[in-house]
């Protein structure tokens, strides 16, 4: 906290002098003001990192100054109020108006120094959290240039202020969460909570506690439905919700009330529900892997996000956005992408969609040594992938169906392995096949994962 600037505002010269000496010995830069007008001039001239404010000033009430300065989480300049005539009511009023702490005179030096240190640490943390939040919002900005995306954006705006449940479908990595957040930000509930709950990888008990909350004799835990009241709860990958909880969620949506686990207290459901799933979700309903009644409850308004291969004109803007945010967020070196480099990116089909594109941009920023990313650098990563539209010749159509199917599967899986640099986990997620089954299939077709990794590194 060295070199932090503290403004001391007090009408008593002895207190101003004493505080200035103590704080300067602690390594702070200190300015003093004897009244409200001097304090205002000082804050306009040089914004302090923290203010020590006496509530009794000759020309104004300290609470008036506190109200003018409106300290808060984003101001980054906390205020600690001091008074020798303090009452509980005054303290509460000051804290309500945004003061970080309230200290009575005569001042305790250790208590004051601890309060200052904590206030500055809290302000620094809030500032960094706000900065990162803004960068995350920029990273997830709704980019729309192609007709499909422009239509989707318009649909999102139209549905934003209706409380109907929404189901967002699309391939992995297309930006379904971005769409959900855009709807929330476009609604009248934008100032309320947006709570994300990802069901993937959670046990049934974990899903229950995180969705509905829980209650015991000694502890209460709040679930997503309660935390998002009057706001939006976003169920990421709703297809992973366990069958027993599907039935419970149906009742919740029908009755507009829910119960914490182990509790009989009915809690009104006032949040909007947005869920997302992959494009084969309706097939899970058809095969009864997911409840049909819940599917219809969630999909009052269905929205579909197109894959990146159908919106390649947006790649230029996406690359610029990813570059700008990653440079600011992760202190990566700034690099510009040449027109030829961006043109090559548009020749690739991006099976991993926006997530894959962001990862490539990040890799290029980390590994590059020049200020401009040229096409040859892209070629080193992508090689000849996706330039040729078809790896299968006419001869496949001369084969019996069984053999043709095997040839297609082999070519298809080889292409996917090449696309994901031999990463079986990513291929498994993309083609929606369980990883163990995929390994067996690769072995049966004599496909070597190591070859795909070598090809991607050449």
Lowest mean pLDDT among 28-42, 187-201, 386-400: 386-400
Q: Is residue 126 pLDDT above 80, yes or no?
A: no
Q: What angle do the packed helices 315-330 and 353-367 form, to 10 degrees?
A: 50
Among 424, 426, 450, 417, which Cα is nearest to 438's? 424
* Tens-digit pLDDT profile for residues 416-443: 887 777 888 888 888 888 888 888 888 8
Range among 60-64, 189-193, 251-255, 362-366 rated most confident: 251-255
Residues in the chain: 458
Instruction: Check if the beta carbon of residue 37 is closer than 8 Å to that of residue 65.
Output: no
- CATH number for the region 309-382 comes to 1.10.8.60
CB burial readout 213-224, b (16+ within 10 A) else e: bbbeeeeeebbb
Among 169, 160, 242, which Cα is nearest to 207's? 242
- CATH number for the region 5-136 comes to 3.40.50.2300
Bridge partners (DSSP) of residue 232 are 194, 272
Query: What global pTM score does this model have?
Result: 0.61
* Tens-digit pLDDT profile for residues 304-329: 999 998 898 899 999 998 998 888 88
Mean pLDDT, residues 269-297: 93
Q: Which CATH architecture has domain 147-306?
A: 3-Layer(aba) Sandwich (3.40)
Q: Is residue 132 pLDDT above 60, yes or no?
A: no
Alpha carbons 420 and 427: distance in angstroms, whole number: 7
What is the percentage of the chain residues whose pLDDT exceeds 70?
88
In this chain, the answer to whether the domains covering 5-136 and 147-306 adopt an identical fold is yes
Q: Which residues neighbour 224 within 8 Å (Cβ) at sequence distance 6 or greater?
A: 195, 196, 197, 210, 211, 233
DSSP, collapsed to helix, strand or coil, labels residue 198 as: strand
Q: Is the domain 394-457 a CATH 1.10.10.60 member?
A: yes
Among 196, 270, 272, which Cα is nearest to 238's? 196
Q: Is residue 240 pLDDT above 70, yes or no?
A: yes
Instruction: Check if the beta carbon of residue 71 is closer than 8 Å to that of residue 126.
Output: no
- Domain boundary assignment for the chain: 5-136, 147-306, 309-382, 394-457
């Amino acid at each position: 906290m060295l070199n932090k600037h503290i403004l001391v505002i007090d009408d008593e010269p002895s207190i101003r002098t004493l505080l200035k000496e103590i704080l300067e010995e602690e390594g702070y830069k200190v300015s003093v003001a004897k009244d409200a007008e001097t304090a205002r001039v000082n804050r306009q001239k040089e914004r302090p990192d923290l203010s020590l404010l006496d509530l009794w000033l000759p020309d104004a009430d300290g609470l008036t100054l506190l109200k003018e300065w409106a300290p808060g989480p984003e101001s980054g300049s906390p205020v600690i109020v001091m008074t020798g005539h303090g009452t509980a009511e005054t303290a509460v009023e000051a804290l309500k108006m945004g003061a970080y702490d309230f200290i009575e005179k005569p001042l305790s030096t250790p208590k004051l120094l601890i309060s200052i240190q904590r206030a500055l640490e809290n302000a620094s943390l809030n500032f960094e959290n706000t900065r990162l939040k803004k960068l995350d919002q920029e990273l997830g900005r709704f980019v729309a240039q192609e007709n499909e995306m422009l239509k989707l954006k318009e649909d999102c705006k139209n549905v934003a202020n209706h409380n109907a449940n929404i189901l967002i479908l699309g391939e992995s990595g297309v930006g379904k969460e971005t769409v959900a957040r855009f709807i929330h930000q476009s609604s009248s509930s934008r100032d309320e909570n947006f709570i994300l709950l990802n069901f993937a990888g959670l046990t049934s008990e974990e899903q229950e506690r995180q969705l509905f909350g829980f209650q015991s004799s000694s502890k209460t835990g709040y679930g997503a439905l309660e935390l998002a009241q009057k706001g939006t709860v976003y169920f990421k990958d709703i297809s992973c919700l366990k069958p027993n909880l599907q039935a419970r969620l149906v009742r919740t949506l029908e009755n507009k009330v829910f119960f914490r686990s182990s509790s009989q207290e009915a809690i009104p459901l006032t949040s909007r529900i947005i869920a997302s799933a992959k494009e084969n979700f309706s097939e899970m309903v058809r095969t009864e892997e997911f409840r049909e009644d819940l599917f219809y409850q969630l999909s009052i308004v269905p929205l579909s996000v197109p894959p990146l291969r159908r919106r390649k004109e947006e790649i230029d803007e996406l690359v610029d956005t990813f570059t700008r945010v990653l440079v600011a967020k992760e202190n990566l070196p700034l690099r510009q992408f040449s027109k030829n480099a961006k043109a090559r990116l548009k020749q690739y089909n991006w099976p991993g969609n926006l997530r894959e594109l962001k990862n490539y941009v990040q890799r290029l920023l980390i590994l590059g040594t020049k200020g401009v990313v040229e096409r040859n650098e892209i070629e080193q990563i992508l090689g000849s992938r996706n330039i040729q539209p078809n790896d299968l010749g006419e001869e496949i159509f001369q084969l019996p169906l069984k053999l043709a199917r095997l040839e297609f599967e082999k070519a298809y899986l080889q292409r996917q392995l090449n696309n994901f640099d031999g990463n079986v986990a990513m291929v498994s997620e993309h083609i929606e096949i369980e990883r163990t089954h995929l390994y067996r299939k690769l072995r049966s077709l004599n496909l070597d994962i190591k070859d795909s990794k070598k090809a991607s590194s050449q």
